[in-house]
Amino acid sequence: MVILFFITGVMTTGHANDNGVISVMGVFEHTAFVLALIAQLGVVDPPAEPANEEAPPAPVRSLVPFPHPLITEVLFAVPGSAGDANGDGRRHATGDEFIELTNPHPEPISLTGYRLTDRHGGGEGGFSFTFPELMLRPGETVVVFNGFEQQWSGPVGDSNRAPPAGNDRFHGARVFTARASSKYIALTNTADFVLLSSPHRVPIQVVVWGQPDPAPPADVPLIERVTNRPEGSVQRGAANAPLEPHPTIDGKPFSPGVPFVQPPRHADDSPTEQPAPKPGS
């Protein structure tokens, strides 16, 4: 089959082979017209226009590598007033202590076998909690309370079994109790640490305050120190942000279940609508 092309006064011929592919012979004055014509015949697609879409923002890099969770809040010194962190109606200097962790990664992670300990390393009289089988979705949060003499509402798990669902009283976070059997099994207010270890007992992260004895392991990849005793918990503002005293962020003593807390927005911070300019101005 022979196809005749008439473009800007120049005639050329094209031959189609048995497979339907057209070969064009001749000289064209306007190559763009030729490409467009061939594209209409279904042989060649025209060049794609460059995309004008903005690239998505880069994800915030976490302080811990995948697939480890991140400690996002610690309440080790329960405030004397407004210290009822678990919301059972009364403040308890030991039972209301808690440690919050979050999955800061874009993929699910397993918490099974991860362990939280204090300076006693899980020994007699020390705080220790090992997570049961649990998959944590991206951005999902867990809160581990000391649990001594505490009452609970909503689903709550322990080291034997994870809660079946998130707890609405704690912003949908999975809530656990360590079921401490004594008021002396607690984090020390003045000098202690919380160590997160992997299921293979490899140190991942430690939060330290004061000068605990013994000191935390020196080979922990992420060591964070609390320099002043806060009137509440220490908390993060983002997955790559340092721990800060919670009251200095938003004026609240703690927020179990909220992994990243932002300062409150005041009315003066909101954008105001500017009046339209007058014609001719």
pLDDT of residue 40: 60
Sheet holding 141-145, edge to edge: 174-177, 141-145, 98-102, 70-75, 234-235, 244-245
Q: Rounded distance, CA 246 to CA 249, Å?
A: 5
Task: Please give the structure tokens belonging to residue 153.
Answer: 């509402």
Extents of the domains making up the chain: 2-40, 60-262
pLDDT of residue 238: 93
* pLDDT tens readout for residues 188-245: 999 999 999 999 999 999 999 999 999 999 999 999 999 888 889 999 999 999 999 9
pLDDT of residue 263: 85
* β-strand partners of 174: 142
* β-strand partners of 195: 117, 206
Task: Please give the structure tokens belonging to residue 124.
Answer: 């007699």
CATH 2.60.40.1260 for domain 60-262, yes or no, is yes
pLDDT of residue 255: 96
Burial of 125 (C-beta count, 10 Å sphere; 0-12/13-18/19+) = exposed
pLDDT of residue 18: 52
Q: Identify the segments of the chain with pLDDT beneath 50.
A: 1-17, 19-29, 43-44, 269-281
* pLDDT tens readout for residues 74-97: 999 999 988 999 999 999 999 999
pLDDT of residue 20: 44
Task: Please give the structure tokens belonging to residue 281.
Answer: 């101005």
pLDDT of residue 275: 44
Is 95 within 8 Å of 206 (Cβ atoms)? no
Please report, as a single letter, which amino acid is at residue 78. V
pLDDT of residue 24: 42
Q: What is the DSSP letter of 91?
A: -
Question: Whose CA is closest to 67, among 104, 98, 92, 23?
Answer: 104
Q: Rounded distance, CA 204 to CA 34, Å?
A: 63
Its pTM surpasses 0.85: no
Task: Please give the structure tokens belonging to residue 161.
Answer: 């079994």
Is 216 within 8 Å of 82 (Cβ atoms)? no
Is 84 within 8 Å of 236 (Cβ atoms)? no
pLDDT of residue 87: 95
